[in-house]
């Protein structure tokens, strides 16, 4: 449902309606022995607490009795027009009366009922039954929407607004719409929130609360309950961040987790040895791979490289493929770029597929795969390998990025 395509009632309009609404006087004298009798008299959908409701009539015990949707064909009879008697000797007019195309309700003394409910119907200040409009009930301090047949809407949407099971418009609260199997948050003016956070929960562009997915441009992950919480797995080691993997400590470096200027681990010896074996195997299989490669970079080196890219193409473009100083995986000493004999980073389709298939055998994963930019924060790089160790095979088999596999935040920079 694209609720935004519906008519959007503004607060200003609702406020004007409130000027014409007064306290509601509940009708207490509606009693039916059966739903058949209620339907035959033009009544339906009695909510618990409403005049006419009884547990006897609410057979499915859902808080609503004599639902119109359950009425057999022909059982519901529209309110019948009553002829007004002018002869004082005749009986007093009472009940529902249709005059000039509008419905009115007259009490036992022949007086029109005003500013009051008759079952599921509302009589306005002029006595007319409300139809296809909003009314404000000051006694309940709530807005209601009266449908074209005059009955109040409930458990449904009217434009950007939600009417709860008691007919009240939801405001400043969460509601669950079973039709769409989703939670929504209704703001203080009653309209549903979208593309925003409500506490630690995220409302998507259609208003649905996100669950078990990456949100807000791929920067955060919410669990199966919709909750985002600061990742307790990632620890701040002072100069870098890490988490405990299945076998080893995993250094975490992306646009959310930087390293200090002084973090200078150098090239990891184990990772370097594994990388040299990898490129040697590629050469043996006929790939044009150079003995040269790009490995460890200090904070200062990365700062110079990044600034050169910014000068050439601008910061927005540079941020897609080059890390700002302190955020580069190369500073961990665990990242290596594969270079071809032509001196260029390897982009050959065959070599790229080989790396996807066989890099895990050497403890590496392709860190920035195609189609994952919103999660990793960088465009795909077939040549960029990150050393993980034994767990690399599990990660590759999952088809997930490190962010997805370990469950830590990714995406673009926070500033």
126-170 confidence digits (pLDDT tens): 999 999 999 999 888 999 999 999 999 999 999 999 999 999 999
Task: Give 3's pLDDT tier (boundaries 50, 70, 90).
Answer: very low
Any idea what DSSP says for residue 230? Answer: -
Rounded Cα distance, 370 and 378, in Å? 10
Give yes or no for residue 75 having a pLDDT over 90. Answer: no
| Extended strands (E) in 31-91 | 46-47, 64-65
Nearest partner of 389 among 364, 369, 406, judged by Cα: 364
Give yes or no for residue 91 having a pLDDT over 80. Answer: no
Domain with CATH 3.30.1380.10 in the chain: 269-406
Task: Give 80's pLDDT tier (boundaries 50, 70, 90).
Answer: low
Rounded Cα distance, 176 and 150, in Å? 25
Select which of 27, 329, 381, 391 is catalytic: 381
Task: Give 259's pLDDT tier (boundaries 50, 70, 90).
Answer: very high
| Extended strands (E) in 277-412 | 289-294, 335-340, 364-368, 381-387
Rounded Cα distance, 111 and 193, in Å? 44
The CATH fold of domain 269-406: Muramoyl-pentapeptide Carboxypeptidase; domain 2 (3.30.1380)
Question: What pLDDT is stored for residue 76 in this prediction?
Answer: 80
Least confident stretch, 93-97, 100-104, 330-334, 345-349? 93-97
Burial 395-415 (b: 16+ CB within 10 A, else e): bbeeebbbbbbbebbbbbeee
Give yes or no for residue 107 having a pLDDT over 60. Answer: yes
The domain 95-222 having CATH identifier 2.10.270.10: the answer here is yes
Give the 3-state secondary structure of residue 299.
Answer: helix
Please give the mean pLDDT across all residues of the chain. 87
Helix H or strand E encompassing 281: helix 269-284
Question: What pLDDT is stored for residue 84 in this prediction?
Answer: 44
Question: What pLDDT is stored for residue 8 in this prediction?
Answer: 34
381 assigned to active site: yes
DSSP bridge pairs for 55? none
Task: Count Cα atoms within 13 angstroms, Cβ side, for 226.
Answer: 16
pTM above 0.75, yes or no: no
Domain with CATH 2.10.270.10 in the chain: 95-222
Rounded Cα distance, 280 and 236, in Å? 36
Burial 146-159 (b: 16+ CB within 10 A, else e): bbebbbbbbbebbb
User: In terms of pLDDT, which residue wins out, 48 or 346?
Assistant: 346
């Amino acid at each position: 449902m694209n609720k935004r395509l519906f008519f959007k009632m503004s607060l200003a309009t609702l406020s004007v309606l409130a000027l014409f609404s007064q306290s509601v006087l509940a009708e207490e004298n509606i009693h039916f022995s059966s739903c058949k009798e209620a339907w035959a008299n033009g009544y339906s959908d009695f909510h618990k607490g409403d005049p006419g409701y009884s547990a006897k009539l609410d057979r499915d015990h859902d808080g609503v009795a004599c639902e119109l949707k359950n009425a057999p064909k022909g059982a519901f009879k529209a309110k019948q027009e009553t002829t007004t008697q002018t002869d004082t000797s005749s009986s007093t007019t009472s009940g529902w009366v249709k005059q000039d195309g509008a419905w009115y309700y007259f009490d036992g003394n022949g007086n029109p009922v005003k500013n009051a409910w008759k079952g599921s119907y509302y009589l306005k200040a002029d006595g007319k039954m409300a139809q296809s409009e909003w009314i404000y009930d000051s006694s309940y301090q709530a807005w209601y929407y009266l449908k074209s047949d005059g009955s109040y809407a409930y458990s449904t949407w009217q434009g950007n607004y939600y009417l709860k099971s008691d007919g009240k418009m939801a405001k400043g609260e969460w509601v669950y719409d079973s039709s769409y199997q989703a939670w929504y948050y209704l703001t203080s003016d009653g309209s549903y929130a979208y593309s925003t956070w409500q506490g630690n929960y995220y409302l998507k562009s259609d208003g649905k609360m996100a669950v078990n997915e990456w949100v807000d441009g791929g920067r955060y992950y919410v669990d199966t309950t919709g909750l985002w919480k600061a990742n307790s797995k990632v620890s701040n080691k002072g100069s870098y961040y890490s988490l405990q993997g299945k076998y080893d400590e995993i250094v975490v470096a992306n646009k959310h987790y930087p390293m200090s200027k002084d973090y200078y681990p150098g090239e990891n010896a184990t990772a370097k040895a594994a990388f040299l074996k990898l490129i040697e195997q590629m050469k043996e299989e006929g790939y044009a791979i150079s003995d040269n490669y790009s490995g460890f970079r200090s904070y200062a080196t990365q700062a110079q490289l990044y600034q050169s890219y910014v000068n050439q193409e601008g910061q927005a473009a540079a941020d897609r493929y080059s890390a700002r100083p302190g955020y580069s995986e190369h500073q961990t000493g665990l990242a290596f770029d594969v270079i071809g004999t032509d001196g260029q980073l390897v982009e050959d389709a065959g070599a790229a597929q080989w790396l996807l298939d066989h890099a895990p055998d050497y403890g590496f994963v392709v860190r920035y795969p195609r189609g994952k930019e919103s999660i990793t924060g960088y465009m795909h790089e077939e040549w960029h390998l990150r050393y993980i160790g034994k767990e690399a095979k599990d990660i590759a088999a999952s088809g997930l990025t490190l962010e997805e596999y370990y469950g830590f935040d990714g995406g673009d920079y926070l500033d």
